[in-house]
Amino acid sequence: GCILDGKLYPFGEIARTENCFRCSCSKDAMRCCSIFHTPIGYDKENCKIVFNEKSCNYDVLQISDPSKECLVYSRV
């Protein structure tokens, strides 16, 4: 298997790691890519980004009322 962040994963495709990555594990290497997209286009003065480990995505929330989401124009 392959070790990522101290955890052993089996050979083959890994749909989602504990750190929100999709990986392929072979005897030669482990290749991973993130399954989340970072928001870059939003109101940075009135909103903040918070990583949601459950959904493996960033929530963009109002600073004044974190129960309300902000509009996101773009993600990378």
Q: Residue 14: which domain range? A: 2-34
At 29 the pLDDT is 92
Q: Span 59-65, mean pLDDT?
A: 97
Task: Say whether both 47 and 70 belong to one domain.
Answer: yes
Task: Say whether both 27 and 46 belong to one domain.
Answer: no
Task: Say whether both 30 and 45 belong to one domain.
Answer: no
Task: Say whether both 11 and 30 belong to one domain.
Answer: yes
Number of domains in the chain: 2
Task: Say whether both 44 and 24 belong to one domain.
Answer: no
At 36 the pLDDT is 92
Task: Say whether both 43 and 29 belong to one domain.
Answer: no
Please say whether the beta carbons of 34 and 18 come within 8 A.
no
Please say whether the beta carbons of 43 and 49 come within 8 A.
no
pLDDT in tens, 19-61: 899 999 999 999 999 999 999 999 999 999 999 989 999 999 9
Cβ atoms within 10 Å, residue 61 = 18
